[in-house]
Structure 1
Amino acid sequence: GLESRFKNKSSYMRYSCESRIRSYLKEVSSFISNVHPAARGAYKRILDLMSDKLKSVKYNGCYFDRREEEDAARLCTTEGWFPCQGPFDRADCPCKHSINPYGNRESRILFSTWNLDHIIEKRRAVVPELAEAVKTRDGREVNWEYFYQLLFTVDNLKLVHIACHKKTNHNLSCDKAKIYRKRKQNHKIS
């Protein structure tokens, strides 16, 4: 039940996760037309940094790979069971949804309907805030790693069954204290 280009189910699942993360990067990239013209260069530089980091971590494909050794780096058990992490506004899934896309083709197809949901919303909050931060930075350095975490890591992503994926406005925003890097203080000895 796998396309011939995949050696095994883990490589297919890794690819599946990478594709989702790549699509988020494309969305962030396509937002550049909404960025203030004077800030587009800085926005593009941040995009390049994010893209390089994503390439270095293979687009976080480890999240769906049951062979990933580090528990924190995968969202499933070593057998391939993925628990639903529940809606953005709950600590867990009230229905105890779970799925094993490693089991069979039908489960893989069904798993494709599960969402990697941004707790702080990508389109409504994170990307517009990044564009605003770049525009109003006024000499400050945008903390691109903070935005990277919100956009591409499980710090702000939850794997959710379609029934637990709330389409409503999450009404959550970025942490204003993390948008810019802290300046290093130069203490002069007199």
Structure 2
Amino acid sequence: MLRLFRKDKPVKIRSCTENRKYGVAAKDVKELLKKGCKLLQLPLSGAHVCLCADGTEVTEEYFQTLADNTELVLLSRDQTWSGGVAYDIGQLLSTGLHGDGLIEAAKGLLSDEQTPKRRKILTELVLNLEDRSDLESREEDKDWFKGVDARFKTKSAYMKFNCESRIRSYMKEVVGATNSIQKAKVKQEFLKASACLKDMLKAAGYNGCYFDRTVKEPDRLCTQGGWFTCQGSFDQKVCLSLHSINPYSSYESRVVFSTWNLDHRIEKKRTVIPALQDALQNHKSADVNLHYFYRLLFTRENLKLVHIVCHNKGAHDLLCDPKEIFRQAKGRKRRLV
């Protein structure tokens, strides 16, 4: 008897092959399918309905929880739907538009989009569509170099410098940790260790090669065209959101890339630097395996390039034992290198 008292729920429905939406009111999924199939001229047998936003199938129970005017997609037996943004992008790329026309069409989709997740995807699409990555020099792409010091004549030279600056900042943190050491002898050894680490960095060009697309693999983190892929949170093998960006493509993408992080899996401040300090409590810097610390602080052995969303700033619980790090680090070079 409860069924008799259900009010018709207004929803917006469309097919998976066109953008036009129709208003339909129904008490339940069965009635919605009947009305929808008649309206869109689809066979009723095997028909099903899902959310336009992300492809979630709408069951009878779920239908009753939907907000009024929720956007739905009506599908025939063999049809599937992975989300509105995937369809919109597919349709957009099949139009044959190029260059500015394609960008403007994508911006048009973005201007009408309200769903945060879809806005994010479309925003990244717009950024990546403005692709001038094949241009390298300042003369060829002056807009890309807005705000960049005049001494940089190519994109690769600036990106190399950008990476060097990040690595240099890690070195500054190591040196800055000297101020927290109370014992004079330990402080002296820590300064020696810091100087040695800095010499290693200088010899390696501060590892600026990671962002330089002109160097050979595997020294760079990007493709030859300049594409970078998020490597996922410190505790993941890959990025589950498949973030990617080409900072060589446009000024906007270069700015957005500045929010990506070179994140230490084994944490720099909480674990690595304190372990170096501990190792020098009763040992000279010459007896500590500084190459071990160099790899943890400044190389891809412990660094992951991550999108800001994947940058977890909380404690990195990797089930690693800081005491074990200390035990290895305090050994002599001949045993550890």
TM-score, reference length from structure 2: 0.52
Contact 1:42–1:134, Cα closer than 8 Å, also in 2: yes
Answer whether contact 1:140 1:180 (CA < 8 A) is retained. Answer: no
After the TM superposition, which residues 84-163 of structure 1 pair with which residues of structure 2 at under 5 Å, given as runs? 84-137=230-283, 141-163=287-309
Q: Return 83-92 or 131-140, whichever deviates more.
A: 131-140
Distance in 2 separating the partners of 1:94 and 1:133? 37
1:41 aligns with 2:188: yes
CA RMSD of aligned residues (A): 1.8
Query: What are the ranges of 5 or more consecutive residues in structure 1 without an aligned counterpart?
Result: 186-190
| Structure with greater Cα Rg | 2
- What are the superposed Cα offsets for residues 44-96 of structure 1, whole Å, 9 maximum, x if unpaired? 11111111111111100000000111x12111000000000000000010000
Superposition deviation, residue 183 in structure 1 = 6.9
Distance 1:122 1:139, change over 3 A: closer
Point out which structure has higher relative CO (alpha carbons under 8 A, 6+ apart).
Answer: 1
What secondary structure is seen at the aligned counterpart in 2 of 1:135? coil
Aligned to 1:188: none
1:181 counterpart (322, 331, 334): 331
Q: CA deviation at 1:139?
A: 9.4
Question: 1 CA distance for matches of 2:267 and 2:285?
Answer: 27
Residue 74 of structure 1 aligns with an amino acid whose one-letter code is R
Asked if the contact 1:140–1:181 (Cα under 8 Å) also holds between the matched residues in 2, the reply is: no
Q: Which amino acid aligns with 1:162?
A: I
Separation in 2, partners of 1:59, 1:184: 25
SS of 2:305's partner is strand
Residue 174 of structure 2 is aligned to residue 32 of structure 1: no
> CA 1:79/1:182 → structure 2, altered by over 3 Å: closer, same or farther?
same
Please give the alpha-carbon distance, in whole angstroms, between the structure 1 residues aligned to 2:285 and 2:222: 43
Say if 2:229 is the partner of 1:83.
yes
Task: Name the CA distance, whole Å, in 2 between partners of 1:5 and 1:33.
Answer: 35
1:58 pairs, out of 205, 210, 213, with: 205
d(CA) in 1 for partners of 2:248, 2:190: 39
Pick closer, same or farther for the CA change 1:115–1:182 going to 2, 3 Å.
same
TM-score scaled by structure 1? 0.91
Distance in 1, matches of 2:227 and 2:326, equals: 36
Structure 2: give runs of 5+ residues left out of the alignment: 1-143
